[in-house]
């Protein structure tokens, strides 16, 4: 049209000579042929009628891309696209109707009763099982060649990087190649000064057929530490209690020389790898770690409970396996820090793994070792010998990935759970000195960790599949991940995060993690302060799994029912209580704790600044003892003691699914920047208290001023968000009213046509009462309705809006209003998303630069637990350096000032 207007009518010849392909000028209509006002009205009426009929026909066309829930159709037959795909509240209700106990139990039995240690054939089999689940539920036809790609290959890169261009669901498996180890032979002995054997411990967890899985595998399950150092050492034993930094300092204060000794540590308090690091730093030659029944609360043999498998108390031979990587230094493949572990990657020696050997042992064996420290005992002063031989090599691991494309394909919500257990089958020709034969299979099934989480996410996938088969499509793209090798040090998720860090920075808006979903009765919730209110609000809308009349959120106060059966009295060690209280005290006033590390959210939050969550039911001091990373973490224990009926599994699935739906379908991201901004000031209050106690002089006033500026900017952003939300609701209400009126007109017109052809019409009475016809409207949720209208791909709303505009039926075209509103929504979302990312520092945290987040990180000597303002806090606590502390405060202030600029309206 621009070319047409460039020429005046008298320039016809010049126009044709310049561009012969242009259409000729329109012929002027003679005055006699110009439609009269009456004729024009008739034509407009006919156009509107034709438009209505066309819309009606298009609206009822079938689709071959949507599958039914019927068995035959789930195998590949096409189904009709439903007239009204569920959106908003109806989509949530449809999703919540799917997760159920029977299917969760079947999923648990599928994943928890077969060997699946990272890097084994059984692990690859479960990766394929999850791939089949994604293919079945997301409507993906399995390709002729299995989509298993080597990390770094063009196929692997394309699978992830093409997600923003994808229009159909997809699923594949990425293979990474980290360095890990598997156990060979191990020994634990008591010897005299001459090295003569006094006692040799049995390192086997004992059970019988009372628990079918534990009874089958107990004699074949090596008890070892992942990524532990091999070695054969002898030395005196030192009791390190929990082997925290405070415990080690107490030993030094008592003039106990740790150099050359073997330190005996209790599990609890801090990550196990840091217990080994603490001993190594002080010259210890090895570390042993055991689980102490004193930390089991009231559920002990002394209180009258039988040990598992005959009762809920601790089996005295149980052993907690696990990685001893220095998690707070950096996670992932030790030999590829900061970059992905491809098959041909350049590798380092690894600076986050021990240089001394370690072994996990049972309480039964620990009790015997304590005799060497008991005055007057015949074994007093005897030495301990520890042997740990491992096979360290490059081992492949498999991440299974699935994608549900949204209308906004460049905004992605990721949900993930790790699949691997600790630890399963290997083949070895080495004979264990304390075993009855060659190690041919291992059997720690991990019914709680991770298979309870896998069972719950299995139900989430089924719920999403149910929606897809009804024509639903999320506003944002959803990526579903089944991570591998988490138990060795978050390897699968970390390597993927390092591989696609730039892509994550550009596209991922949130990460929802699920590790173990059930190991006890108390709900725990952790996450970024941006999502704290969101976590609570969604949990309050899920029923309590076992108590009618309460909500899932109320389960945070549940504490088990086992208080002792002897004389009605019990005693709990104060240290055990203190550890549990420390976990609870970390929560903010909403009830959500900050994230440290210990699961797969780490690379998303701590390295890329992606708001993340984690949650699930954990054991309390009055629950059946959870045998963490033991052969007794079995399906029988899970079904008998942890979650009879799997009601908690289902509740977690519903909560995770509801969070996924709202993050993926809400036009406005549910981020609460103001809560985060005020939490920052509480973080600073703690730092001031620590500095005062340590007599460290640091000026924190400029930092506090910057935080308060951020609070003001965030409040202004909230006001704009509220205005946009009201505009959404207002526009949705108008659209809904207009759409309902349009549909009634169409229906009436169709009925008249049917009557002409003497066909019965049943639709006229349906519109007598608008409230009775709400189920026939396009949507019932404002944000979902307008959110869909804001983006391309919705033929109905988009087409109608353009058609109405073309017919000049409205002075303010809806499409233009939608576009303006869409721009405002994008601005608000972008500013809210910049908040978490704003804490990412290029230089990272001192001495552990892999961690980039300066607002929260795993504590340097905690591992699992979070430290807020980590660089500043640790400069005071550990470095005791006022100059360094001031530098860290200035660095924080600079980051926060930048966030203020990004958030400002």
pLDDT of 16 strictly over 90: no
Query: Which pLDDT does position 160 carry in this prediction?
Result: 98
Cα 638 from Cα 65, distance rounded (Å): 39
pLDDT of 425 strictly over 90: no
Cα 674 from Cα 716, distance rounded (Å): 9
Query: Which pLDDT does position 34 carry in this prediction?
Result: 44
pLDDT of 421 strictly over 80: no
pLDDT of 86 strictly over 70: yes
How confident is the model over 634-644, as a mean pLDDT? 95
- Report yes or no: 402 and 171 within 8 Å, Cβ to Cβ: yes
DSSP structural state of residue 196:
-
How confident is the model over 228-257, as a mean pLDDT? 96
For residue 117, give Cα distances in angstroms to 28, 421, 441, 457.
Answer: 80, 5, 10, 19
Provide the pLDDT confidence category of residue 40 given band limits of 50, 70 and 90: low
Backbone angles phi, psi at 374, to 5 degrees: -95, 120
Nearest partner of 706 among 855, 895, 893, 832, judged by Cα: 893
Q: How wide is the angle at C-alpha 188 spanned by C-alphas 186 and 191, nearest 5°?
A: 135
Burial label, 365 (beta-carbon count in 10 A; 0-12, 13-18, 19+): buried
Cα 833 from Cα 845, distance rounded (Å): 22
β-pair type (286-290, 358-361): parallel
Measured from the Cβ of residue 898, the count of other Cβ atoms closer than 10 Å reads 14
Helix or strand holding residue 498 (H, E): helix 491-499
Using one digit for the tens of pLDDT, what is the confidence trace for 452-509? 999 999 999 999 999 999 999 999 999 999 999 999 999 999 999 999 999 999 999 9
- Report yes or no: 176 and 496 within 8 Å, Cβ to Cβ: yes
Helix or strand holding residue 701 (H, E): helix 701-756
Using only C-alpha atoms, the chain has a radius of gyration, in whole angstroms, of 32
3-state SS track over 774-834: HHHCCCCCHHHHHHHHCCCCCHHHHHHHHHHHHCCCCCCCHHHHHHHHHHHHHHHHHHHHH
pLDDT of 244 strictly over 70: yes
Query: Which pLDDT does position 13 carry in this prediction?
Result: 38
How confident is the model over 879-897, as a mean pLDDT? 97
- DSSP-assigned letters across all residues of 432-460: PTTSSSB--------TTTTHHHHHHHHHH
3-state SS track over 505-558: HHHEEEEEEEEEEECCCEEEEEECHHHHHHHHHHHCCCECCCCCCCEHHHHHHC
Helix or strand holding residue 160 (H, E): helix 154-161
Query: Which pLDDT does position 44 carry in this prediction?
Result: 56
**Between 216 and 271, where is the model more confident?**
271
β-pair type (383-394, 231-235): antiparallel
Q: Spell out the residues 6+ positions from residue 39 whose beta carbon is closer than 8 angstroms to its own.
A: none
- Report yes or no: 431 and 396 within 8 Å, Cβ to Cβ: no
Q: What pTM was estimated for this model as a whole?
A: 0.85
Cα 631 from Cα 447, distance rounded (Å): 10
For residue 31, give Cα distances in angstroms to 28, 34, 35.
Answer: 9, 5, 9
């Amino acid at each position: 049209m621009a070319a047409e207007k460039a020429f005046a009518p008298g320039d016809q010849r010049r126009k044709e000579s310049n561009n012969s392909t242009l259409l000729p000028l329109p012929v002027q209509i003679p005055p006699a042929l110009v439609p009269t006002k009456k004729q024009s009205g008739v034509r407009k009426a006919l156009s509107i009628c034709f438009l209505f009929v066309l819309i009606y026909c298009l609206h009822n066309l079938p689709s071959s891309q949507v599958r039914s829930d019927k068995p035959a159709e789930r195998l590949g037959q096409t189904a009709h696209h439903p007239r009204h795909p569920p959106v908003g509240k109806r989509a949530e209700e449809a999703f919540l109707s799917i997760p159920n106990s029977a299917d969760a139990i079947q999923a648990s039995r599928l994943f928890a009763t077969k060997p699946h240690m990272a890097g084994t054939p059984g692990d690859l089999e479960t990766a394929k099982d999850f791939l089949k689940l994604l293919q079945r539920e997301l409507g993906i036809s399995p390709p002729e060649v299995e989509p298993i790609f080597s990390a770094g290959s063009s196929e692997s890169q394309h699978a992830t990087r093409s997600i923003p261009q994808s229009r159909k669901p997809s699923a594949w498996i990425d293979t990474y190649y980290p360095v890990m180890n598997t156990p060979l032979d191990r020994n634990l002995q008591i010897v005299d000064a001459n090295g003569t054997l006094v006692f040799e411990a049995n390192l086997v967890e004992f059970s019988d057929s009372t628990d079918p899985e534990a009874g089958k595998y107990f004699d074949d399950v090596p008890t070892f530490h992942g990524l532990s150092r091999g070695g054969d050492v002898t030395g005196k034993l030192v009791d390190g209690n929990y082997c925290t930094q405070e415990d080690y300092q107490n030993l030094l204060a008592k003039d106990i020389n740790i150099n050359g000794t073997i330190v005996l540590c209790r599990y609890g308090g801090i990550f196990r790898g840091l217990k080994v690091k603490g001993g190594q730093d002080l010259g210890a030659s090895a570390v042993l770690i055991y689980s102490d029944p004193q930390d089991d609360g009231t559920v002990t043999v002394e209180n009258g409970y039988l040990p598992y498998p005959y009762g809920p108390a601790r089996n005295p031979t149980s052993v907690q396996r696990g990685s001893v990587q220095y998690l707070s230094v950096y996670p992932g493949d030790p030999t590829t820090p900061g970059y992905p572990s491809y098959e041909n990657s350049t590798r380092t020696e690894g600076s986050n793994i021990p240089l001394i050997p370690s072994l996990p042992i049972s309480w039964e064996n620990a009790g015997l070792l304590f005799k060497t420290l008991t005055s007057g005992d015949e074994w007093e002063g005897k030495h301990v010998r520890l042997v740990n031989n491992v096979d360290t090599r490059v081992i492949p691991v498999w991440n299974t990935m699935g994608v549900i494309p949204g209308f906004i394909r460049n905004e992605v919500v990721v949900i993930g759970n790790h699949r691997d257990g600790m630890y399963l089958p290997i083949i070895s020709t080495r004979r264990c000195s304390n075993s009855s034969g060659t190690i041919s299979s291992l059997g720690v099934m991990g019914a709680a960790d991770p298979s309870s989480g896998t069972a719950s996410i299995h139900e989430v996938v089924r719920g999403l599949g149910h929606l897809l088969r009804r024509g639903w499509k999320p506003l944002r793209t959803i990526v579903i991940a089944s991570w591998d090798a988490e138990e060795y040090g978050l390897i699968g998720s970390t390597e993927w995060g390092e591989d696609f860090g730039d892509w994550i920075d550009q596209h991922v808006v949130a990460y929802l993690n699920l590790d173990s979903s059930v190991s006890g009765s108390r709900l725990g919730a952790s996450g970024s302060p941006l999502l704290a209110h969101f976590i609570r609000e969604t949990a309050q809308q899920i029923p309590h799994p076992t108590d009618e009349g309460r909500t899932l959120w109320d389960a945070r106060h549940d504490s088990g029912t086992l208080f002792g059966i002897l004389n009605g009295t019990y005693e709990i060690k104060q240290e055990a209580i203190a550890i549990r209280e420390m976990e609870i005290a970390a929560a903010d006033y909403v009830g959500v704790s900050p994230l440290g590390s210990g699961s797969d959210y780490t690379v998303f939050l701590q390295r890329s600044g992606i708001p993340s969550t984690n949650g699930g039911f954990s054991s309390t001091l009055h629950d059946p003892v959870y045998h963490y990373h033991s052969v007794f973490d079995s399906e029988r224990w899970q079904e008998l003691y942890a979650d009879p009926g799997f009601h908690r599994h289902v509740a977690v699935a519903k909560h995770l699914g509801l969070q996924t739906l709202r993050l993926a379908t809400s036009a406005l991201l549910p981020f609460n920047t103001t809560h985060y901004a005020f939490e920052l000031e509480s973080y600073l209050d703690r730092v001031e208290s620590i500095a005062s106690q340590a007599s460290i002089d640091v000026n924190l006033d400029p930092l506090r001023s910057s935080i308060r500026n951020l609070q003001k900017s965030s409040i202004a952003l909230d006001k704009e968000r509220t205005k946009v939300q009201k505009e959404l609701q207002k526009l949705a209400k108008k659209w809904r009213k207009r759409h309902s009126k349009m549909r009634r007109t169409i229906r009436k017109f169709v009925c008249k046509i049917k009557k002409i052809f003497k066909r019965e019409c049943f639709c006229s009475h349906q519109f007598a009462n608008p409230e009775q016809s709400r189920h026939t409207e396009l949507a019932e949720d404002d944000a979902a309705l307008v959110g869909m209208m804001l983006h391309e791909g919705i033929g109905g709303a988009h087409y109608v809006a353009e058609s109405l505009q073309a017919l000049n039926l409205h002075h303010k075209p809806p499409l233009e209003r939608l576009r303006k509103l869409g721009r405002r929504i994008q601005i608000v979302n972008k500013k809210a998303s910049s908040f978490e990312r704003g804490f990412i520092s290029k230089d990272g945290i001192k001495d552990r630069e892999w961690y980039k987040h300066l607002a929260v990180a795993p504590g340097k000597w905690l591992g699992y637990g979070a430290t807020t303002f980590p660089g500043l806090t640790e400069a005071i606590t550990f470095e005791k350096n006022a100059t360094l502390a001031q530098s860290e405060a200035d660095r924080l202030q600079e980051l926060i000032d930048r966030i203020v600029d990004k958030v400002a309206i």
